[in-house]
Amino acid sequence: MNVALTTYREALRAAHREALRRDARVFVMGEDVGRYGGSYAVTKGLLEEFGEARVRDTPLSELGFVGAGIGAALGGMRPIVEIMTVNFSLLALDGIVNTAATLRHMSGGQFSTPLVIRMASGAGRQLAAQHSHSLEVWYAHVPGLKVLAPATLEDARGMLWPALCDPDPVLIFEHAQLYNLEGELAEPAPAVDIEHAALRREGSALTIVTYGGSLPRALAAADTLAQDGIDADVIDLRVLRPLDMACVLASVRKTHRVLVVDEGWRTCSLAAEVLARVGEEAFFDLDAPLARVCSEEVPIPYAKHLEDAALPLPPKIVAAARALVAGR
């Protein structure tokens, strides 16, 4: 097994190339995925290698091309639909929520929709309110969808193929600040499942639960806390629907404290769901109140200092963790 230096973006591109080579039914479609190479350069070079029939530039209509992807999936193809950013996916909500997510149920199991939809999510790049939100929980709310949030090179490389093999629609949220993430990745890439959370750091003082672009922040916060003798379990949810609460609960029963870091807004957040389940299933294992750090309840600002102030960055995570351990 060889190990090579790569980036999150390149890992995603390698996953696309592998899928296109493995299965003739796989094709990519979306705005600027072909000649331009994708808004975040994930599909760069695929048009030249696989041709226009399998790497298709679409009109500027999310509702239209997501609908076409649903139809292709029903027809036996395996489409990968790229939406430029999660905010724009709202234009395709009808197709995703009212059609793709419901067809298996409404057909009595006669039809499946093996569709993968990828999109960028999250803030931190001064792109203001229409390009910076974390709306993953909106989709994680919907039965019939599987929702993934790869935060590591291994997951970026390995989640696409099992998602394409799933008979039901899978949404993959790629935090835009992760695209330039660098690191080593084994080749051939290790297999990745799309069912379970992952323990990314082990400790005993508290459990920090997070996902996506907040994972590097949580790990950075855990490094700072460790300097004060506060060692934290850091759990990467990875799969937002269905949630792997067994991993979370096992950690909470060990550390007796839990802090959820979620770039979504606090109200009706994924953090709220995780903490509710901890309260329901592990209340008597807790030695401190449930805690969370979320984005401020404002549209994400453009100004850098205001954007930083709105996000759950490491200093906020460290402060919340210290207060939790101190019993404040």
Which residues carry out catalysis? 62, 131
Instruction: Specify the residue for token string 């990314």.
Output: 200
Q: At what angle do helices 270-282 and 245-255 cross, to 10 degrees?
A: 60
Only one residue has tokens 């430029």, namely: 84
Q: Compute the C-alpha angle 57/176/82, nearest 5°.
A: 25
CA distance 90 to 178: 22
What's the CA gap between 266 and 247, in Å, rounded?
A: 22
Tally Cβ neighbours within 10 Å of residue 18.
17
**Strand, helix or coil at 38?**
coil
Alpha-carbon distance of 37 to 45, in angstroms, equals: 6
What is the C-alpha to C-alpha distance for residues 139 and 322, in angstroms, rounded to an integer? 32
Q: Which two tokens stand for residue 2?
A: 């060889």
Judge contact between 252 and 210, C-beta under 8 A.
no
